[in-house]
Amino acid sequence: MADNFNFELVSPERLLLSEMVTEVVIPAADGEMTVMANHAPTMTTIKPGIVSVRSANGSKQDYVVFGGFADILPTGCTLLAESAVIIQDLSKDELTLRIEAAQREIADTVHHEHKSRLEHYVMELTHLRGVIDQD
């Protein structure tokens, strides 16, 4: 049986989750990452995607995050999200609105590096919309 550790998912709006879990799968910038108890200390940026949380009681809950970073220690993990919501509370229309807002910002941006980051963000949101549509 897996050891438990403390996981917190925090957005600027609220604390979404703070509980003992057995594992968390996070959308790290370099790819999906499974965090379990006694994980090596790590800090990573988070891209838009799904955070899957397996509670100590065995239940599973998914959240959608829109960027941020995670601080991982052997005893716990804190994910500070730019924005986050329980997956059941996210509509395809909200994702479409976020994509359209980013596309408008791309059209108004003259700095190449910023435009490139926004284009990558739109690609990630579009992929996320496709993943959520399949569920």
Quick check: 77 and 38 in contact, CB under 8 A? Answer: no
17 with 58, same domain?
Answer: yes
Gap between the Cα atoms of 130 and 133, Å rounded:
5
Residue 78: strand, helix, or coil: strand
Q: Under a CB-based contact definition with an 8 Å cutoff, are residues 99 and 130 in contact?
A: no
Residue bearing tokens 């509370």: 89
Count structural domains, the chain: 2
Tell me: the pLDDT tens digits for 38-51?
Answer: 999 999 999 999 99
d(CA 29, CA 96): 22
15 and 52 housed in the same domain? yes
89-112 pLDDT, tens digit per residue, is 888 888 888 889 989 988 888 888
6: amino acid identity, one letter = N
Identify the weakest region by mean pLDDT among 6-15, 66-75, 115-124: 115-124
Q: Which of 4, 15, 26, 18 is nearest to 75 (CA)?
A: 4
What is the model's pLDDT at position 33? Answer: 96
Whether residue 96 sits in one domain with residue 79 = no
Residues 10 and 71 reside in one and the same domain: yes
Q: Which pTM value belongs to this model?
A: 0.84
CATH code where residue 64 lies: 2.60.15.10
Q: Are residues 66 and 109 in the same domain?
A: no
- Domain range enclosing 112: 91-133
